[in-house]
Structure 1
């Protein structure tokens, strides 16, 4: 395995050589490159971003959001097959074995920030269904995050719900879609029903109901994985009214889960010690969005008012832990609400020979959390100002970004605490990316970004943490290339490589840790031929170190190196066949040999058939085989074995 330091040196040398190598070439602008594969590569930006569109969402047949995005390089799951026990790790930050989040991975649904809390042995709390969404965007690292939030060190996950016009196509009348999916491992059943109505050209409505249920799954050796089964009914209601150059949209989505006599510990690390609980979970997100896009290039105003409401009520099951030691955790009810108003304007203008795309805005955030055992309650009020400018000068693009955020945090009244119950903090953060394209498909970029994670409600009781923000700096350098006719006429090719180095200090998220350093390389590539053949490849090679009291050691949340390769063949518009291999390298950068993670290679098959004629016209049939050879393995960072072979069958019809 090539070390990240070696790859970093090679890419740096290559980036330095690129300008000399193309200087003598004729600077001819290429037409837009379209690769007909599973996923496009974002070669036109310095931001390390990956978009998963509706076609890929359908194709992957994921049961959770976590399962959907683990195909992105740099993203690793702590489990992931159940909504409750899922944890998302990006570039070594995010989920830990103690909490479902470290506040350094930001998750938004239609612009609403999901209030994932540091609840002991409870997952990311992303209780929602992948069937509700038409697009998922994953940004890795800090670059590109400043108009969305602060403290984004690992990355940003943005989900966008479906719209009625996705089904009506803008035509008046009714449209709908019915989907039924079955899975063999855990007897999974999913039904998604969508009804869209467009009574007028300027008015549209959508209603969707999803019922997803799954029993406990088995690993490659036929043993239970330890992940409890679940039943998640979800629904989405959405409407949009357009008038002239303005529009108003209102959406509401809701997911509920009921669990009875299940382990309190969703990670499965010590369920016997903490005992069992009866747990009721509800996740509601309401978003009111306004858009004004007049003819003037100086104005495109978007306003987004959102309310995210997560509630977890649990009751301890008597006698389920030694001496009923799990009672205080099991009887804790949690509720956390985040209300946010974001107003921003996008303006396009020129100053001399420099063209600008300037985005500036303001955010007002009110977060409220109920007092519970081991989870301090209170309010966290924030005001943020941000500005991002994409300035183009010839083949150069300079993208400075700045965010200022101020905070007023107050402990819930009546909470027992000898420490101060109020604190105020603020921070200035920002970054700069520079990209240069040579007009022949080749580009190179470099960026630097600095961010701060302001104190959170969990920091009440720790005087130092209440007054200290967590700080991180990330440097990135990379290159991208896209072309037609790489091997033969009619083909298309895209590739992008990103080297990054992140330093985290003044650490408050991890006990006993002073500093964390992570570094790695991420590669994405796509290739397709005119005859329908395609290939997708992505890879990440990473490592990390942590310092505790001046002693340097391995970073316990570092991810394993991984390579994902997909080869596929499309036969007209009706049939799509693909094979995917996921190779995880052996992870041995651990203090104890018992913590090593063996390497693994997992194979997945996918078939999509949608006839264009006959009785089954426009019906979509999908067959997916996950873990084809029933391999028994445990991914890096997971606390339980992965599921064994799972055959999924989906039938869908849009009408």
Structure 2
């Protein structure tokens, strides 16, 4: 694959080995080698089981099943298997994680373990990062994350507040990290240039994707990558053949990356990247979540940009230093033009109706953020059987939130529910991972965060300039203790205790431009679980893995924001509780494999005895597949099972249970003119079932035939 470059036979590892080489040292590399499965799937070097994937976002890289936290890793193969239309589609096989909002790519947000609401201010409750850069957007009638799954090669989901130690106070739901593709993913040893072309088609909505990636190493140790993707779709239809409104879209996104490795032992590198996602659509419903007619239509342009520069130094020969630092800029911007007037009859006929622009004729929502972070991993040999890995770091960000609204004679600065202002966050953290004889792992950690939110002058709804000039600061603490004990070669137990404090966001502190004296949200989370690992269980070469997790998350001063019919209001719930069970299991042989995932979540308003909003229905999936090795053909069936949800909050409706059947096949020829190609065919919702996910405001997609073809060069 690619054009060979003479005199350069340096081996370029995949993502797991790259991360280990620059972040953790030789001891962690041994852990990767041990993670290889008994039998890989044809055409794959990665394990079949997601429980055998390497986790790189929870500290020192480790195997998922041996991580004392509920964590799921999707590698490139798992992402491609799903043939996702949008970011929300990639979470189909992750217990406890549910896309919320709508089927519109502009209306998607995420719920983890019942945390996350479509019309709520969930900033920091779920932290989402792209290559280490925090991404967040809030408009209340829009989604919170805009991107395309084709950009990414790995997605990790760390469930629960224990993730706050490394990522930020307040991550009560958890953390989702996205890792973009690298040049090394498309270059064989000695290649000068390589890449991949891909196209896909989706019958539901007649959607298609065109993707081109070019990777190069023009000189030794300089890796370059350029990627361009275009995706479009018409409105999709539900199981009854009805169009789901405003699910049509077109988007274009690109990624460029560069990395130069240098030093006597090639243990240093500088890197830079830039990515851009954009969508430009006319006559869209302003409300992308519930399709409410009260806000009219709008011409809307959405742009998301991320730029990163950084430096890494493994300090070969020095176990105490392994440093990585980066600085980034992120900008998420929604521009809206030609907003419809809303007309209402406030006086008896024949008086004319009163017409007005609720958000101005033109408006813009923007989150522009500058971030910096640096961390170090120190390795200590404490004894013959004890190792310690200590991660320390600091990060900070400055964010400007703007929302100018043009009413013709004046420009208003935001609104009462979405004030303009600035946020400054600075955090420091330390986490130790103590490992004894690869049998016992103890992970204590502590994080301290400082947050300052401020509002200067603003223009109110009458065009008057008000000099508020107020600010509010707070400090949050996130300690944790986690442990994993391998009782035997096949049995492990784990548990954790984690506390985190979510600091009030700008719109909560300055709702209606009044300084609200809000207490911090406090979360105390307890988890316990068990793992089973069997090789040669039924026949030689087979393997079985299982990980079960029970959790209880007690939250004090929970801010529940919702639409009361005329405005967004925030109710403070003194005591809330989330608890549940999660299960992940897999079994594979040389040709037959299967996986299972399930989650059961309960959310209770302890103060009133009622139920919390936005708690997903009990769900499970079962996947059974077969690999025909002579043809390198992988095919199978997956069933999605959802229970009825009648444990609903005061602002919700009950939903019925349903079952979806899905088929898939993948062919990866290894020789002939089709070598280095990949053909995938999926049928989602085979029986065209009509259904509604409990956390979605619209009907689910009906039957869809998906076909994709990719070719490496």
Match of 2:259 in 1: 240
The residue number in structure 2 matching 1:560 is: 617
Give the one of 183, 190, 200 matched to 2:219. 200
Shift of the alpha carbon at 1:122? 1.2
Q: CA RMSD in A?
A: 2.1
Say whether residues 1:627 and 2:648 are aligned partners: no
| Structure 1 counterpart SS, 2:164 | coil
Note the C-alpha offset of 1:435: 1.3
Q: Note closer, same or farther for the CA distance 1:459–1:452 as it changes in structure 2 (3 Å cut).
A: same
Alignment pair present for 1:438 and 2:487: yes
Q: Call closer, same or farther: CA 1:190–1:164 in 2, change over 3 Å.
A: same
- Residue correspondence of structure 1 range 22-171 to structure 2 within 5 A: 33-34=37-38, 36=40, 38-41=48-51, 42-79=64-101, 81-96=103-118, 98-99=119-120, 101=122, 103-117=124-138, 119-124=139-144, 126-171=145-190
* 1:304 paired residue number: 326
CA shift, 1:439, in A, is: 3.8
Counterpart CA distance in 2 for 1:226 and 1:648 is 21
1:408 pairs with 2:467:
no
Aligned to 2:643: 585
Once residues 258 and 560 of structure 2 are traced to their aligned partners in structure 1, the CA distance between those partners, rounded to angstroms, is 40
1:446-465 alignment runs, 5 A limit: 446-462=495-511, 465=516
CA deviation profile, 1:119-162 (whole Å, cap 9, x unmatched): 221112x1111001100001111123311122101111100000
1:329 CA displacement: 6.5
* Alpha-carbon separation, structure 2, partners of 1:381 and 1:153: 20
Give 1:38 shift: 4.6
Q: CA deviation at 1:578?
A: 1.5
Query: Contact conserved, 1:274 with 1:321, CA < 8 A, in 2?
Result: no
- Please show how residues 303-342 of structure 1 align to structure 2 within 5 Å: 303-319=325-341, 322=344, 323-324=354-355, 327-328=358-359, 331-342=362-373
Q: CA deviation at 1:102?
A: 5.1
What is the aligned partner in structure 1 of residue 600 from structure 2? 541
How far apart are 1:342 and its partner, in Å? 0.7
Gap change, CA 1:624 and 1:345, over 3 Å in 2: same
| 1:502 maps onto 2:553 in alignment | yes
CA contact (8 A) 1:522 1:539 kept: yes
- Aligned pair partner of 1:521 in 581, 596, 599: 581
Unaligned runs of 5+ in 2: 1-33, 41-46, 52-63, 345-353, 404-413, 461-465, 562-569
Match of 1:508, SS state, is strand
Unaligned runs of 5+ in 1: 1-29
Contact 1:100 1:123 in 2 (8 A): no
Distance in 2 separating the partners of 1:396 and 1:385: 27
Change (3 A) 1:102 1:204: closer
Q: What is the total number of aligned residue pairs between the two structures?
A: 619
* Conservation of the 8 A alpha-carbon contact between 2:341 and 2:357: no
Structure 1 residues 602 and 564: alpha-carbon distance in aligned structure 2, compared to 1, 3 A threshold: same
| Aligned residues of 2:534 and 2:544 also touching (Cα < 8 A) | yes
Q: Quote the Cα distance in structure 2 between the aligned partners of 1:330 and 1:581.
A: 47
Map residues 165-314 of structure 1 onto 2, 5 A cutoff.
Answer: 165-244=184-263, 245-270=267-292, 272-295=293-316, 296-314=318-336
Partner residue in 1 for 2:534: 483
1:366 to 1:487, Cα distance in 2 relative to 1, 3 A? same
Range with bigger deviation, 223-232 or 417-426: 417-426
Residue from 365, 376, 382 that aligns with 2:419: 376
For the pair 1:654 / 2:673, whether they are aligned, the reply is no
**1:325: Cα distance to partner?**
5.3
User: How many angstroms does 1:303 deviate by?
Assistant: 0.5
Corresponding residue for residue 25 of structure 1: none
* Deviation for aligned residue 1:318: 3.2
TM-score, normalising length from structure 2?
0.83
CA 1:95/1:183 → structure 2, altered by over 3 Å: closer, same or farther? same
Residue 577 of structure 1 and its aligned partner are, at CA, apart by 0.2
Structure 1 contact 411–460 (Cα < 8 Å) conserved: no
For the Cα contact (< 8 Å) 1:389–1:399, is it kept in 2?
Answer: yes
Structure 2: distance between partners of 1:633 and 1:130: 24
**Secondary structure of residue in 2 paired with 1:211:** strand
Residue 3 (structure 1) aligns with: none
Q: Distance in 2 between matches of 1:31 and 1:231?
A: 40
- 2:299/2:338 contact within 8 Å kept: yes
Match of 2:22 in 1: none
Give distance in 2, aligned partners of 1:594 and 1:148.
32
**Cα deviation digits, residues 541-566 of structure 1 (max 9, x gap):** 1111124xx42201111111111010
The structure-2 alpha-carbon separation of the partners of 1:399 and 1:338, relative to structure 1 and needing over 3 Å to count, comes to same
Q: Over residues 622-649 of structure 1, what are the superposed CA-to-partner deviations in whole Å (9 max), with x where a residue is unaligned?
A: 1111111100000111100001001011
1:413 is displaced (CA, Å) by: 3.5
User: Which residue of the partner structure matches residue 349 of structure 2?
Assistant: none
- The separation in 1 between residues aligned to 2:105 and 2:308, in whole angstroms, is 22
- Paired with 1:630 and 1:588, the residues of 2 have a C-alpha distance of 24
Which of 640, 647, 652 is matched with 2:698 structurally?
Answer: 640
